[in-house]
Structure 1
Amino acid sequence: MLERALRKNTARVTFVLPPGMPAAEVSVVGDFNDWRPGVYALTPRKDGNRAVTVELPTGRSHSFRYLAAGDHWFNEEAADGQDGPNSLIHT
């Protein structure tokens, strides 16, 4: 799931995964962090979901994926589209 809050020049995008999907540690990686794992690791919230918030410039499209431990890559079902094998979000 994606939660968005638009501001003047940025969009606060929160990437949210339900508990246990997958059970391992997960990072969101994309063109906004040079595809580096661990920079935006999802952490538990009070509701049991895991999430991380990223500030992105508005008026752009960004490719991203989730990366879990064990080199398990997966996409966001609620993404705005696909960019090849990656999820796509428009800010």
Structure 2
Amino acid sequence: MLERTLKKGRTEVTFILPADTPSGPVSVVGDFNGWRPGVHTLKARRDGKRSVTVALPSGSVQCFRYLAAGDYWFNDESAGDMDGPNSRLHT
């Protein structure tokens, strides 16, 4: 799930997943971090989910995917758009 918060000149996007699906550490990787795993790792929240927030330029298009333990790549269906194998996010 994605949550967007508009700020001056940027959009803060919060990437949210259940606490245990998939199990183990999960990173969101994409255009905004050079597709480097571990830069934006989801952390546990009090509500039983895990998330990470990334500030992105407003009006941009960013491709991303999640990377879980065991080299398991997956998309965020709530992004609503795809670019090949990647989720696409419009800010």
Q: TM-score range by the shorter chain?
A: over 0.9
CA RMSD of the aligned region, Å? 0.6
Residue 68 of structure 2 corresponds to residue 71 of structure 1:
no
Gaps of 5+ in 2: none
Alpha-carbon shift at residue 24 of structure 1 (Å): 1.3
TM-score, normalised with respect to structure 2? 0.97
* TM-score, length basis structure 1: 0.97
> What's 1:18 paired with?
18
Mapped contact 1:25–1:68 kept (Cα < 8 A): yes
Runs of 4 or more off by more than 4 Å in structure 1? none
In the alignment, what sits opposite 2:56?
56
Structure 2 counterpart of 1:35: 35
Structure 1 unaligned blocks of 5 or more: none
Report if the CA contact (8 A) 1:43-1:52 is conserved.
yes
Kept after mapping to 2: 8 A contact 1:41/1:52: yes
